[in-house]
Structure 1
C-alpha cells in the first residue's frame, strides 16, 4: 500500500465534484433564458445530474476494485471533459440534459475514487482526522465554484461555464497522470456487486447513514438549485450569488473547524451529528420566516445550515463502512448509490416546490430522529 498518497491532489479531486456543480449554479437563470425553459425545468438539471452521479459512483467503485484506483479516476475525468464539450456546443435542451448526465457520471469518480484511496491508507482515528481535514478543504469548494461560475457567466454566459469545466477536467487529468499513485492493496477482494448490494440493503445502519448524508446534502445543494431564482426575483445580480458562496465557504469552514476541534478532544462522532441536526433545524426555520416576508437577507442564516453540514458529513462518512473493510470500493459505490439517489429525489422535489425555506425545514426535521437514533446506539 502506498503511504505517499499525495493528499494535495486527492483533496483537489475530492473537491472536484462539488466545485463543478457550484460553478454551474450561477448559470441556471442564463440556461433557463438561453434554452427558453422554465425555472422548474432548469432546476431539474441538478436532480438529473445526481441521478446519473449515483450510478456513476457504482460503476467507478467497481472499476476501483477491479482495475485499480488510478485508472478509475483517469477514466472518470476524461469522460467529464468530453461531456463538458458536448454541453458547450449543445443547442437543444435535451442534448444539454444528456451532456449533464454524462458529466455527472464521470464526476462521480471524484467522490468514490478518492474516498476509497483514503480508506486504503488510513484507519480509525487517523481516518476521521483525514476526513476532517477534507471537510475543511470542501469548505472552500462552494466559494471557489460560486465565484468562478458568477465570473464566467457574467463575461461569457453559460458557454463560458462549460468551457471552464472542460479545461478544469483536462488540467486534473494531466496532474493525475503525473502524480497520482495506485493505492489498491494487492490482496483486495473484488466482492460480487449483487452480494454486496443485498447485504447492504438489509443493513439498517447503512440506510441510516445514506439518509443522513442525503438530507444534509439536500440542505446544501437546494441552495445552489433554488437560490439563483430567489436572487433574480429579489433583483440581486448573479455576482451577488457568487459572493454568497463566500458566506457558504465561511460557514462550512467554521463547521469543519469545530468538528476538528471537538474530535481532538475525543468528542463522540454521533453526538456531533446530532448537534449538526439541531443547528440545521434552527437555521432552516429562520430562513423560512425571512423568505415569507420577502427579506433579501435570507442567505445569512445559511451559515447555520452549512456549519451543520461541515460538522456532520465527515463524522457520518468516517464510520460508514467500518464493517465492509474487505470490499471498500464496492461497498463505497453501493453506499454512494443509495445516498445520491436519495439526494436526487430530494432535489427533484425541491425543484418542483421552488421554496427554499420549506425544503430546508423538511430535510432538517427528517435528519433529527436519525441523528438521535445514531447517538443513542453509540452510547
Structure 2
C-alpha cells in the first residue's frame, strides 16, 4: 500500500472516533427526553465515552506492539460494531451507558493504532507535516458529526445516530480488512509496560504534552457537551446547533492550514502552541461575555482555531524519545490524556459553565508553554 493510500485510510480511521463523539452531541437532548433524565446526566455520556476510550487506548496500543497493527485494528472495529448493535437493543439509560462505554473502548483503536501506523512510516519534520495534514482533515469531523447528528435526530431520534455509527464502523472494518497493511517493525523490542510507564511518569515533557492535549480537547468538547443545552436555553433549535458545527469546522480547518503554512515558513512547534494557547484564552473570554446570545458561537471559532493549530504540534513531537516502543508509549500517552479529558468533561457536566471552562483551559495551556525553551 503506497503512502498516499495509507494516508487516506488513516484520515478515515482518525476521523471516526471524533465523528462518533460529535454525532452523539445533538442526540443528548433526545436521550434526556427518551430516558427522562436531566442535562447533567445526559451529558455524562461523553464523559463515559472518554474514560472508556482511555482504557481502550492503552489496551489496543499494547496489543498492536504484541500481535501487529492490522489484527489489532480489525479487532477493535469489530468490537465497536458489536457494541453498536447492543446499543440499539437496550431500553434503559444505564444499558445505553454500558453500550457506549464498550463502543468507546473499541473506537480507541482508531486513535492509538492509526497514530502508531503513521509513526511507523514517517519521522521528524515529515511526521509533523503528516499530523498537520491530519489536522486539516479532522477539522471536517465536527461539521460532519454535528450536522449529520442533528439531521438524524430530527428524523429518527437518537437511534438514528446509533444506526449510522453501526454502518460507519462496519464499512471501516471492511475497508481495513481489504487494504490495511502491517507496518509493525520486524525487530521491535518487547518493551515492558510498567518500565515504560515509569519512564514516562518521570518525563516532564510527557506530562506537559499530556496536559496540553487534555486542555485543548476539554475546551473543544465542552462545547459539544454543553452546547445543545445552551441553544435550548436561548430558544434556538437543535438543528441550528448542528449547523454551528460547519462554522466551527471552518475555524478548526483554518487553524490546521495556518499551522502547516507557518511550519513551512520556519515557525517552531512550541511557538505555534504558545500562539494557540493565547487564542484559546481570548476565545474563552469572548464566549463568557456573549453567553446570553447565540453570537457566542463566533467566539468559539477562536477556540477551535487554536485546537487546529496546537494538537498537530503536540502529537507530532510528544513521543520523539520513544521510537523503540511506539505502540506501548502511544497507549500510555493516550491513557494519560484521555483520563484527564474524561475527568475534565465530568466536571464540565457538573458545573455547566462553558465560558469559564474555556478561560481556565486557555490560561492553563498558556502557563504550561510560556516558560518552556
TM-score per shorter chain, which class? over 0.9
Q: Any conservation in 2 of the 1:79–1:103 contact (CA below 8 Å)?
A: yes
Q: Which residue of 2 aligns with 1:177?
A: 177
For the residues of structure 2 that align with 1:285 and 1:48, how far apart are their CA atoms?
28
1:5 positional shift: 6.0
Q: How does 1:49-68 map to 2 (within 5 A)?
A: 49-68=49-68
For the residues of structure 1 that align with 2:127 and 2:148, how far apart are their CA atoms?
31
Q: Which residue of 1 aligns with 2:116?
A: 116
The SS at the match of 2:139 is helix
For the residues of structure 2 that align with 1:6 and 1:129, how far apart are their CA atoms?
15
Q: Which residue of 1 aligns with 2:349?
A: 351
Q: Which residue of 1 aligns with 2:308?
A: 310
Q: Any conservation in 2 of the 1:2–1:121 contact (CA below 8 Å)?
A: no
Q: Which residue of 1 aligns with 2:249?
A: 249
Q: Any conservation in 2 of the 1:2–1:182 contact (CA below 8 Å)?
A: no
In the alignment, structure 1 residue 270 sits paired with structure 2 residue 266? no
For the residues of structure 2 that align with 1:189 and 1:60, how far apart are their CA atoms?
17
In the alignment, structure 1 residue 142 sits paired with structure 2 residue 142? yes
- Structure 2: segments with no counterpart, 5+ residues: none
Q: Which residue of 2 aligns with 1:215?
A: 215
For the residues of structure 2 that align with 1:223 and 1:117, how far apart are their CA atoms?
30
In the alignment, structure 1 residue 260 sits paired with structure 2 residue 260? yes
1:38 positional shift: 0.9
1:3 positional shift: 5.3
RMSD: 1.1
Q: Which residue of 1 aligns with 2:96?
A: 96
In the alignment, structure 1 residue 188 sits paired with structure 2 residue 188? yes
In the alignment, structure 1 residue 333 sits paired with structure 2 residue 341? no
For the residues of structure 1 that align with 2:84 and 2:221, how far apart are their CA atoms?
20
Q: Which residue of 2 aligns with 1:298?
A: 296
1:85 positional shift: 1.4
Q: Which residue of 1 aligns with 2:321?
A: 323
For the residues of structure 2 that align with 1:5 and 1:213, how far apart are their CA atoms?
28
The SS at the match of 1:210 is helix
Q: How does 1:20-59 map to 2 (within 5 A)?
A: 20-59=20-59
Of 304-313 and 227-236, the range deviating more from structure 2: 227-236
Q: 1:348 to 1:123 in 2, by over 3 A?
A: same
For the residues of structure 2 that align with 1:326 and 1:134, how far apart are their CA atoms?
23
Q: How does 1:11-22 map to 2 (within 5 A)?
A: 11-22=11-22
The SS at the match of 1:51 is helix
1:190 positional shift: 2.3
- Spell out structure 1 runs of 4+ moving beyond 2 A: 1-5
1:84 positional shift: 1.2
- Structure 1: segments with no counterpart, 5+ residues: none
In the alignment, structure 1 residue 238 sits paired with structure 2 residue 242? no
For the residues of structure 2 that align with 1:307 and 1:296, how far apart are their CA atoms?
19
1:2 positional shift: 7.6
The SS at the match of 1:108 is helix
Q: Any conservation in 2 of the 1:79–1:106 contact (CA below 8 Å)?
A: yes
For the residues of structure 1 that align with 2:171 and 2:130, how far apart are their CA atoms?
25
Q: Any conservation in 2 of the 1:68–1:182 contact (CA below 8 Å)?
A: yes
Q: Deviations over 1:79-115 (max 9, x none)?
A: 1111111111211111111111001100101110100
1:58 positional shift: 0.2
For the residues of structure 1 that align with 2:74 and 2:164, how far apart are their CA atoms?
18
For the residues of structure 1 that align with 2:48 and 2:352, how far apart are their CA atoms?
16
Q: What number of residue pairs does the alignment pair up?
A: 373
For the residues of structure 1 that align with 2:12 and 2:45, how far apart are their CA atoms?
24
The SS at the match of 1:300 is helix
Q: Which residue of 1 aligns with 2:129?
A: 129
For the residues of structure 1 that align with 2:117 and 2:266, how far apart are their CA atoms?
25
State the TM-score, normalizing by the size of structure 2.
Answer: 0.98
The SS at the match of 2:37 is coil
Q: Any conservation in 2 of the 1:5–1:183 contact (CA below 8 Å)?
A: no
